[in-house]
Amino acid sequence: MSGSSAGRFARRLVRLYPRAWRDRYGEEFLALLEEKPASVGDVFDVALGATDAWLRPQVVSNRSEGRLVVVARLRGSVLAVLWAWALLVVASVGFQKMTEYEDFVQAAREHVVVGAAFDAVVGGAVLALAAVLIGGVPIGFAAVRGALAEGRRDVPLFLCVPPLSLAAFVGYVLVLTKIIYPTLGTLAVNDAMNVALFLSVAGAFLVAAVVSVAAVSAAVGRCGVEERHFRFALASASVAAVAMVAVLAGTVVWGVALRMQAPALFMGDDGILATPTYATWGVIVAAMFLSCCLALVAVVRGLSSSRRPRHSGVS
């Protein structure tokens, strides 16, 4: 990339930040970016910093600037892992939906590797969930405590969104299974109505997941939380990332073992909505791989940024 192109790219990166931030740090940050070509990691770092600047738009004093920069980077990394974990949850639900059919249950019983791989997926998913909760609950309590001390109601309201979203999703599923489906009679898997209802459930789950994670991100970004809470959460996020990799590995091994030990089932049309099994498995693996990459990059960036001093103008 030529010098002029690099300069234009650096200016575009700076424009990701709010105007108040650019007025305070823009020139200094631009000079820092132009010192060397921006790497993929730098772009990721800038994106996290810009997101944090929009969530926490205040400009801080020079005295506390350095500490808040570290907190901002830790917070951005923790929230990035949360988003990656949400993507893994969506993919894992698809995997669970596919493998709940009797043919797959029987294959797990008859073939040791298939069964062990499935158990690894379940174990990794449980560990990832536990790590996210252990790291996130202290931040949630700290955010609510700080918001109440400041007389703010927005943070507690944001944190109410996840349970309300879950309740709304469960309610929708109950309406479908208890009221709508019984009135429709027996539907074929490929029936247009069945496909539409299934897609509506998948869409409702995806919306609930996105809204919940977005609400938590907004709540954490709007209220001051001590650095120690984010350091603890980053450690938990590291465990969650490792568990996510275990889920991915288990899913990959499950598919490979199924292909070797039950090829007819793997090459059949037993995927979600009677799609090819291998195609459904491939999409799930791709989504899990993306989520793991995001989580690992976020953890590495968070750990590295918290261990070395950063330029005071960047947040």
Residue 53: the pLDDT is 67
> Which range (25-34, 146-155, 234-243) has the least confidence?
25-34
What does the alpha-carbon distance between residue 256 and residue 113 come to, in Å, rounded to a whole number?
Answer: 10
Q: For residue 111, which phi and psi values (nearest 5 degrees)?
A: -120, 120
Residue 285: the pLDDT is 97
Using one digit for the tens of pLDDT, what is the confidence trace for 128-162?
A: 999 999 999 999 888 888 888 878 788 889 999 99
What does the alpha-carbon distance between residue 78 and residue 75 come to, in Å, rounded to a whole number?
Answer: 5
Q: Locate 80 and state its tokens.
A: 């990035």
Using one digit for the tens of pLDDT, what is the confidence trace for 254-267?
A: 999 999 999 999 99
Residue 192: the pLDDT is 81
Maximum mean pLDDT: which of 5-9, 99-103, 152-156, 226-230? 99-103
Q: What is the pTM of this model?
A: 0.75
Distance, CA of 283 to chain centre: 17
Using one digit for the tens of pLDDT, what is the confidence trace for 226-238?
A: 888 889 999 999 9
Residues in the chain: 315
